[in-house]
Structure 1
Amino acid sequence: MENKLRSEAEQQAHEHSCKLLLNCYIRELALEKESDIRIHPNTLTYAVAFQASGVKVTGQLAYHSAMGEHEYLSMQSGGEAVHYRDLVRWITCELGGDGAQGASSDLHGMLKSEMKRKSSLEVDIAYPLGENTNRVELAYARDFAQKVDNSVGNLTLYIEQAAGLDIHDYRTSEQSLLVGHPFHPFPKNSKGFSEQDVQKYSPELRTSFQLCYIAVRQDVYVQEWVDDEAVMDLHDLLRSHVETILKEKSGMYGLLPVHPWQYAYISQLSEVQHYIRDERLILLGSAGPIVYPTSSVRTVYIPAWNCNIKLSLNMQITNMIRTNSAEQMRRTLDASRYVRQHDCFGAEPNTHIAYETGVATCAFDDEDLTSLFTVAYRPIEFDPANSYVLSSLVEAPLPGMRSRLMTLLGGDLDIAERWLDRYLACSLLPIVRAAGEKGIHFEAHLQNTLVTLEDGLPVDFIVRDLEGVSVDEELISEQERAASDLLFYSREKAWARTSYYFIVNHLGSLIHAMARDVNVPEEHFWKQVREVLVDELERTGNEYVRHLLTTDAFLAKQNLVSCLRGISQTPAYVPVSNVMKRIGSEVRGSRGIQG
């Protein structure tokens, strides 16, 4: 039975990863390789040619997505089912540059001769690129393939051990994001965690643990809070543990919470050992209340303290090292102050912000070393019994099943429409008003937003992770610019963040899940969004609302291309067609015919 379960989990993880890779490729390369990518909505068929490898992937769609989040019934090439490693090879070869026109027969032979002494993973990684491909591209290709394998392995484990667990509150929703980002080639990569670490620290497995703590001598310790009322006194909260170790020295030190994995990592660093010998740092071990890792892995929820703490982890989650740099923390605190001072959602009683209220770290000369210790505090001011992370509601308990949201709503179209109306009123409209009236923009993607439900319907919307806030520089005073210039962007760049993160990423996937589950085209719900925006435009004349209705396309991250080319910190973007404009054109066209 166990082997059968493992096999089913592997198959589901494999099929889901094939879907991710192909959907990323189709969205990101549709314009560049238009003649090679064919999607037929009427017949629910598709064909994608990978010219560099001389192969074509064809099959049947289970659901055609206007935003590109297609569901697949079959995926084959040359009469055989496609494996995700096939897609990795073909995609890497296709995007590998001028020298990557398929591997030479000599290279093929060399790789085959090495199969006995190398793992299949290493062979698969080396396979795609031609002999003329430069070393940098080859390194990126190997790294890409390793991360896809890591993500698939983790997803298999999560499906095997945690699929089907229900969500009933904030904590369980944070720990239920099994498959992750629908347009990322390896959303469950956790490169740096061993197999044992994955079991101990993955939120998907409903894990919990104690944090570790480090005492930092006051001449090295740094903390900053948005106001005096926000200060968390860890000395007071952990008094019995701290005073047992520090005794009369207790007042000489500040305390830093540290993830157990990070604690083990930094304790071995030679620079840290130097600070320990000087007693500028004292390792206090594990203590305090039980914490629960959230969907971001490195941020933990602490029910006993009613807060989240954004910790540093010097490892890759998806494709980024998750440490807290000085610039990121400066942006976070400046954003918290700015948004509060401007009473961002003051006129929106059902729209809220989960503020970061403080940052603590060590004042080392080496900024990279400092970032390994830095943490940010985010108190819980919403109802944890009835609030949920949006990304978990949009997901299904298992790939291929109905989303948790539509299961909660009973799968009825009428109730789905009511739910979306209520949701848009407390999410989309306040966000575009904040942009239009105050120039404040949020990275409000699915994992950065929560909804509070009452009888299944939305009553509150919460935005978090203020590091992603950007402000229209045309709407600020000189005094505000002098206080912080990290938040301020041109109007176009600030708005591009909102339109991608909330419209494409957030509403795109939410509408996809709802439409797929009630078996209607996504256009059905996009029409509903359009009608809400038309009403808002008539009432306010908001230029951003006008843009949402009239622009030809929105820009979406090219996660696959950016990962393969090593530019994830400054990703490339690709246009995604604006469904609402197309619907508007069809409405105007039909009216013209009637006239």
Structure 2
Amino acid sequence: MERVDLNPPTDAARRADAYASAPLLNCLLREVARPVPERGDRPVYRLPGTGRLLRVRPGRRPAEPEVRADGAWQPLSHAELVKLVAEELRAHTGLPGDDLPAEMLDSRDTVAALLAARARAVAPEDPYLRSEQSLITGHPHHPAPKARGGGPVAAWLPYAPEAHARFPLVLLGVREDQVAEEGDTRALDALGTAPPGYRLLPAHPWQLDLLAPGLAPAFADRRLIRLGTTESAVRPTAAVRTVYEPGRDLFLKFSLDVRITNDIRRLWRHDLQRLDRSDTAAREAFAAMGPPAAWLSDRGYRTAAFAFEELAVLVRDGLRGHLLPGATPLLAAGLAEGFDGSPLAAAPDPDAWWAAYLRQVVPPALRAFDEYGVVVEAHLQNTLVAVDAAGMPVQALFRDAEGVKLLSDVGREAGWERLVYCLLVNHLGEIAAALAEAHPGLDPWPALRAELSRHPLPEIPALLAAPALPGKTNLLLRWTGADGADARYLPLPNPLRAGDAVRGGRDR
């Protein structure tokens, strides 16, 4: 019997379902589902745990999922897709999945709230900020990329980059004998004035709301005092907890006690205490390589000793001291997702644009690894690509010392696997797929093979001949409760292997 929907979804609900379903489907098809040979314009997959058949509209953002039931294909809403995935993974792994199904639903509800907010908001004129605030889909291979901890919309929407938010920071005073800091934090003192006996500590207002009950004793005994807010507003970047103050050209990264993608986004003590070593290694590597590539240094942190992780704030280099004259920085993740004014879709010569992109992004990441033992986390959200007035890539800027690994710690083999995933699979694979989608007929892989072949790393020949690349398993990682930093990989077909057929963008 044909199913009759007595409460058909609205256009807004369908849009939210589509945005939220695409990355979940990408995960399911990459990590669990098995292709089934069947004629038709839509690929069919078998789910091995339950034996069900699933088909989707293909592409780098798969859509319109349907499950085979009662002899017919039945369309799935996002909520029904979550139920299907949960049943499959319980059968496939024998594990309950804990809170992940709720996170998937929260991610979809977040998208719905963001779409509604964006319809009322004014996007920033600055193309850099537009690129940072463009990510409605977000991580294209995560089951719940937009989850915001399950809290009420009113708690997080004022601070959402995707809603084009801007807001002042809260200024706190920390009693001098309770300050903990390392590195260069002088930029924080310019944000306001602290009374005698106190040091200035900016706080993210959302984090301060989350911490309110636990901080009450510190406010009561005046280890901590409120000093108002900053005069100017900051813009949240794609990372949500990192903000940019354009007037001062200053990035600040905060703790945020909310799970976003795989992790609770605190500035953990062990990461802060290794920050100087990893940032120094990256900063010195890029200084030795010289321009145009640049490293945005995490100069130092300041916090309160009694709330070391909770109130930590990290000071990061601004853009102006690193950018080439006349260049406009853009977030690589924004280029992959698309935003108003993106040069990727508008490139009059996409082959030349792609070759220029590769010339800026690939060499510094490979040289940092091979010559200086530094593995930069060169994924889409940690890479800025600056373009000239014509929209051609002329520079790459890398950031986030928290994600840097040193070969002296992890070893060359593990470091190479991480670099291949971050740079090739997460980053260049997505940009290549977006470029091919915007410019039908473009084959991006020969240019990437040629660029990699220019570099004399001993790993390159094996990479170009390998049948597979490492793909991170975010769905299974979250379902099994693994630590977010414990990357697990499965083999993906390698589009760099000369002569191999390249499957759709969802395999990236």
TM range (shorter): 0.7 to 0.9
Equivalent residue, structure 1, for 2:238: 295
Structure 1 residue 426: Cα displacement: 1.2
Where 1:315 maps in the other structure, the secondary structure is strand
Counterpart among 179, 192, 203 of residue 238 in structure 1: 192
* Separation of aligned partners in 1, 2:274 and 2:462: 27
Where 2:463 maps in the other structure, the secondary structure is helix
* Separation of aligned partners in 1, 2:406 and 2:227: 41
1:155-194 alignment, distance < 5 Å: 155-162=111-118, 168-194=126-152
Matched, 1:389 2:331: yes
* Separation of aligned partners in 1, 2:487 and 2:289: 35
Matched, 1:370 2:370: no
Contact kept? 2:27, 2:143, Cα under 8 Å: yes
Contact kept? 1:445, 1:505, Cα under 8 Å: yes
Which amino acid in structure 2 is aligned with residue 551 of structure 1? A
Pair 337,265 (structure 1): closer, same or farther in 2 beyond 3 Å? same
Residues 283-311 of structure 1, C-alpha deviations (whole Å, 9 max, x = no match) = 22423321111111111111222111001
Pair 361,54 (structure 1): closer, same or farther in 2 beyond 3 Å? same
* Separation of aligned partners in 2, 1:20 and 1:39: 23
* Separation of aligned partners in 2, 1:206 and 1:489: 38
* Separation of aligned partners in 1, 2:112 and 2:368: 41
Equivalent residue, structure 2, for 1:467: 402
* Separation of aligned partners in 2, 1:16 and 1:192: 18
Equivalent residue, structure 2, for 1:504: 425
Where 1:95 maps in the other structure, the secondary structure is helix
Matched, 1:533 2:476: no
Where 1:372 maps in the other structure, the secondary structure is coil
Equivalent residue, structure 2, for 1:423: 357
Counterpart among 203, 216, 219 of residue 161 in structure 2: 203
Pair 582,13 (structure 1): closer, same or farther in 2 beyond 3 Å? farther
Tell me which protein shows more helix as a share of its residues: 1
RMSD: 2.7
Counterpart among 56, 60, 75 of residue 81 in structure 1: 75
Equivalent residue, structure 2, for 1:13: 16
Equivalent residue, structure 2, for 1:477: none
1:143-162 alignment, distance < 5 Å: 143-162=99-118
Which amino acid in structure 1 is aligned with residue 182 of structure 2? E
Counterpart among 549, 560, 570 of residue 475 in structure 2: 560
Residues 107-165 of structure 1, C-alpha deviations (whole Å, 9 max, x = no match) = xxxxxxxxxxxxxxxxxxxxxxxxxxxxxx43x34x11211111111212223332695
Contact kept? 1:554, 1:578, Cα under 8 Å: yes
Contact kept? 1:355, 1:464, Cα under 8 Å: yes
Which amino acid in structure 2 is aligned with residue 576 of structure 1? L
Matched, 1:551 2:454: no
Residues 207-252 of structure 1, C-alpha deviations (whole Å, 9 max, x = no match) = 1111112211121101111xxxx4425444412xx4xxxxxxx231
* Separation of aligned partners in 1, 2:406 and 2:451: 25
Pair 217,166 (structure 1): closer, same or farther in 2 beyond 3 Å? closer
Pair 98,496 (structure 1): closer, same or farther in 2 beyond 3 Å? closer
Contact kept? 1:47, 1:57, Cα under 8 Å: yes
Pair 7,547 (structure 1): closer, same or farther in 2 beyond 3 Å? same
* Separation of aligned partners in 2, 1:551 and 1:345: 33
Contact kept? 1:170, 1:387, Cα under 8 Å: yes
Equivalent residue, structure 2, for 1:245: none
1:67-146 alignment, distance < 5 Å: 69=60, 71-72=62-63, 75-77=66-68, 78-97=72-91, 137-138=95-96, 140-141=97-98, 143-146=99-102
Where 1:344 maps in the other structure, the secondary structure is helix
* Separation of aligned partners in 2, 1:53 and 1:82: 16
* Separation of aligned partners in 2, 1:233 and 1:345: 22
Contact kept? 2:23, 2:137, Cα under 8 Å: no
Normalised to the residue count of structure 2, the TM-score between the two structures is: 0.88
* Separation of aligned partners in 2, 1:295 and 1:288: 23
Contact kept? 2:171, 2:203, Cα under 8 Å: yes
* Separation of aligned partners in 1, 2:282 and 2:267: 21
Which amino acid in structure 1 is aligned with residue 11 of structure 2? E
Counterpart among 45, 48, 59 of residue 48 in structure 1: 45
Structure ID, larger Rg? 1
* Separation of aligned partners in 2, 1:254 and 1:325: 21
* Separation of aligned partners in 2, 1:224 and 1:74: 50
Structure 1 residue 197: Cα displacement: 2.2
Contact kept? 1:14, 1:83, Cα under 8 Å: yes
Where 2:478 maps in the other structure, the secondary structure is helix
Which amino acid in structure 1 is aligned with residue 76 of structure 2? V
Equivalent residue, structure 2, for 1:448: 382
Which amino acid in structure 2 is aligned with residue 462 of structure 1? L
* Separation of aligned partners in 2, 1:59 and 1:460: 38
Pair 159,396 (structure 1): closer, same or farther in 2 beyond 3 Å? farther
* Separation of aligned partners in 1, 2:37 and 2:421: 23
For structure 2, which runs of at least 5 residues remain unmatched after alignment?
1-8, 503-508
* Separation of aligned partners in 2, 1:44 and 1:305: 53
Which amino acid in structure 2 is aligned with residue 152 of structure 1? R
* Separation of aligned partners in 2, 1:502 and 1:98: 30
Where 1:279 maps in the other structure, the secondary structure is coil
* Separation of aligned partners in 2, 1:192 and 1:17: 15
Equivalent residue, structure 2, for 1:357: 299
Structure 1 residue 331: Cα displacement: 2.8
Range that drifts further, 10-19 or 455-464: 10-19
Matched, 1:408 2:346: yes
Pair 469,319 (structure 1): closer, same or farther in 2 beyond 3 Å? closer
Counterpart among 392, 395, 404 of residue 457 in structure 1: 392
Where 1:80 maps in the other structure, the secondary structure is strand
Which amino acid in structure 2 is aligned with residue 579 of structure 1? P
Contact kept? 2:156, 2:206, Cα under 8 Å: no
Structure 1 residue 548: Cα displacement: 2.7
* Separation of aligned partners in 2, 1:97 and 1:71: 24
Contact kept? 1:559, 1:568, Cα under 8 Å: no
Range that drifts further, 324-333 or 443-452: 324-333
* Separation of aligned partners in 1, 2:92 and 2:489: 21
Pair 277,176 (structure 1): closer, same or farther in 2 beyond 3 Å? same
Equivalent residue, structure 1, for 2:208: 263
Structure 1 residue 345: Cα displacement: 5.2
Contact kept? 2:327, 2:387, Cα under 8 Å: no
Structure 1 residue 405: Cα displacement: 3.9
Pair 512,167 (structure 1): closer, same or farther in 2 beyond 3 Å? farther
* Separation of aligned partners in 1, 2:434 and 2:118: 21
Contact kept? 1:189, 1:319, Cα under 8 Å: no
Give me the identity figure in percent.
28
Pair 430,276 (structure 1): closer, same or farther in 2 beyond 3 Å? same
Residues 39-90 of structure 1, C-alpha deviations (whole Å, 9 max, x = no match) = 77x96431122354453112443x4xxxxx3544664533321222222222
1:575-586 alignment, distance < 5 Å: 575-583=491-499
* Separation of aligned partners in 2, 1:440 and 1:184: 26
Matched, 1:37 2:35: yes
Pair 385,372 (structure 1): closer, same or farther in 2 beyond 3 Å? farther
* Separation of aligned partners in 1, 2:169 and 2:395: 31
Where 2:230 maps in the other structure, the secondary structure is strand
* Separation of aligned partners in 1, 2:166 and 2:272: 26
Contact kept? 2:19, 2:136, Cα under 8 Å: no
* Separation of aligned partners in 2, 1:363 and 1:212: 19
Counterpart among 261, 270, 283 of residue 327 in structure 1: 270
Contact kept? 1:312, 1:373, Cα under 8 Å: yes
Equivalent residue, structure 2, for 1:432: 366
For structure 1, which runs of at least 5 residues remain unmatched after alignment?
1-5, 31-35, 64-68, 101-136, 243-249, 474-487, 587-595
* Separation of aligned partners in 1, 2:274 and 2:435: 35
